Structure 1
Amino acid sequence: MGVARYKEALSLTEHSPWARRFWDALVPLKDRVVEHPLFVQMGQGNLSLERFQDALLHFYPLVENFPKYMGLALAKTRAGRLPGHEDTKNWLIGNIKIEQRHAYWYQDWAAGFGLDRRRLETTTPPPAMDAVNQFLWSIGHQGTLEESIAATNLAIEWATGEWSQRVVAGVKHYAEQGRADINRHTMAWLRAHASYDDAHPHEAMELVKRLAVDEPARRRAFTAARRGLEYYVLALDDCYQQAGKRSLVVPPVLADSN
């Protein structure tokens, strides 16, 4: 008779010197995301509704595709053959469903700010805001497992968990001003991230430690995490600067000739 096997929860370990340097070197870039004027003003309750809606609309593809990016990483796992792959497989399987639920909660948040599901699902983000999606697809298809985890679950989730703590306090101002409908449904996405169901970035760092067993792998993972955060900043800058200036220009070849 075979011995039953059960998935053990991922336990965090103390950072070795290289892992501490890895984490600390990302902090300034992560802080540029967390302290971006877009999120500062959201947290103060004085970001214009137009900018708020632009952010919710054009970041939706990142949220909706996030479980898919994790699925690309899952496909790379070779449990039992390579260090850290069994732990990573189990962690990804356990969390992909959670991320899908978060996409539905995000739809509720957007609805509270006047954006229906159809608008979310038919949006095409501007190039600078879509760059982060293109990067995560690319790293998911072509990168190593440690690169995928570092870019997606470490970089993106780390920054998101922290800025949502800032924003959750300010959203009530929009309701008080009659500019948004705030209730437990429209707050679910923010509260889930602000309360740090996002142990996720710390768990992702733990996986990177287990996967990246040599210097080249550690460098690849660090570069992927850094680039993910750089694209995040690029997206935020574009959203903050260009909201209200966008217009849909129909190319002549597509215009109705009648």
Structure 2
Amino acid sequence: MNHRFERTGPLTELGSYPQWAQDLVDACEATRQAVIGHELWDLMREVRLGRYGTRDFMAGIWPVIERFPAYMARNLLKTQYGRSPGDNLARRWLVRNIRVEQNHADYWLNWAEGAGVAREEVLYGPRAEGTQALADWCEEVSHHDSLAAGIIATNYAVEGATGEWSRLIYDSASYAQSLPAQTRAQSLRWLQLHAAYDDTHPWEALEIVCTLKGTAPVADEVDHLIECVRRSYIGMRILADRCVGRTRVYGIVNGAAA
């Protein structure tokens, strides 16, 4: 029986994908909501996170930002041109997008500086306990797991949820106005790119995974992919929890930690 998947519907509609992929998205929805509905984003939107939380956020996610091209490169090494339609699709997509991620690292540092966190603090400063969990997981799954697992954990789960929380912050006029006027556009560049309403990266990643797995993968394989997505969301939630926790400890006074 031919279980090959070829998308025929629109890229950004879930109904265009096999039933198992639709079930995967549904199974992970509650964990995803714990990320995109986290109070951290409201604190940032309302400029109430404070300097300790802001520093933990900028420095805590930096290892993921800095290493993201490496995660994709590790997945690229798993591909073999001509082995399968999924390999070919993944190879072309990863080669095209790896270089783009380097620019994103520069934009992140610009954002941090605009938010009052020195570049040296992001690069070399201590990181709040627990914020490394996401970076460690992305490294593990990209290095040691399958091509499908690596892509669904990073390019689908991490990029997808990031696009949603980025949009929440980018759409806040209060947050934008809190950044120095002379460098505001530069500071907002990372958010602008990730908050793009037509961002297709997570959907393209899902298409790659479905092309790799076909329309009827065995149940154990689907369960593993679900676990990979959930672990990415959990790592993001832990990081957000740590940033908010520091803000609670030090308190908030007029938008700055006391």
Partner of 1:37: 39
Q: Aligned equivalents of 1:177 and 1:19: distance in 2?
A: 41
5 Å-filtered alignment, 1:1-258, equals 12=11, 14-170=16-172, 172-174=173-175, 176=177, 183-196=184-197, 198-213=199-214, 214-215=217-218, 216-243=220-247
1:232 to partner: Cα distance: 1.1
Contact 2:44 2:169 in 1 (8 A): yes
Instruction: Provide structure 2 residue ranges, at least 5 long, that are not aligned to the other structure.
Output: 1-9, 251-258
Residues 206-233 of structure 1, C-alpha deviations (whole Å, 9 max, x = no match): 1111112322332322211111111111
State the SS of the aligned residue for 2:127: coil
Residues 116-147 of structure 1, C-alpha deviations (whole Å, 9 max, x = no match): 32222113433411011111111111100000
| Structure 1 residues 224 and 181: CA distance shift in structure 2, 3 A | farther
| Structure 1 residues 137 and 180: CA distance shift in structure 2, 3 A | farther
Amino acid at match of 1:79: Y
Moved more, 180-189 or 137-146: 180-189
State the SS of the aligned residue for 2:125: coil
Residues 82-132 of structure 1, C-alpha deviations (whole Å, 9 max, x = no match): 340110011011111111111111111011012232222113433411011
Amino acid at match of 2:152: A
Residues 212-257 of structure 1, C-alpha deviations (whole Å, 9 max, x = no match): 23223323222111111111111111221135869xxxxxxxxxxx
1:192 to partner: Cα distance: 0.6
State the SS of the aligned residue for 2:141: helix
Q: Which has the larger radius of gyration?
A: 1
User: Number of aligned pairs?
Assistant: 235
Q: Aligned equivalents of 2:202 and 2:157: distance in 1?
A: 7
Instruction: Provide structure 1 residue ranges, at least 5 long, that are not aligned to the other structure.
Output: 1-10, 247-258
State the SS of the aligned residue for 1:136: helix
Moved more, 68-77 or 212-221: 212-221
TM-score (norm 2): 0.83
| Structure 1 residues 180 and 54: CA distance shift in structure 2, 3 A | farther
| Structure 1 residues 157 and 174: CA distance shift in structure 2, 3 A | closer
| Structure 1 residues 164 and 174: CA distance shift in structure 2, 3 A | closer
| Structure 1 residues 180 and 25: CA distance shift in structure 2, 3 A | farther
| Structure 1 residues 176 and 193: CA distance shift in structure 2, 3 A | closer
The structure that is helix-richer by fraction is: 2
Identity of aligned residues (%): 31
State the SS of the aligned residue for 2:184: coil
Q: Name which structure has the greater RCO, CA cutoff 8 Å, separation 6+.
A: 2
Moved more, 44-53 or 90-99: 44-53
TM-score (norm 1): 0.83
1:45 to partner: Cα distance: 2.6
Contact 1:174 1:180 in 2 (8 A): no
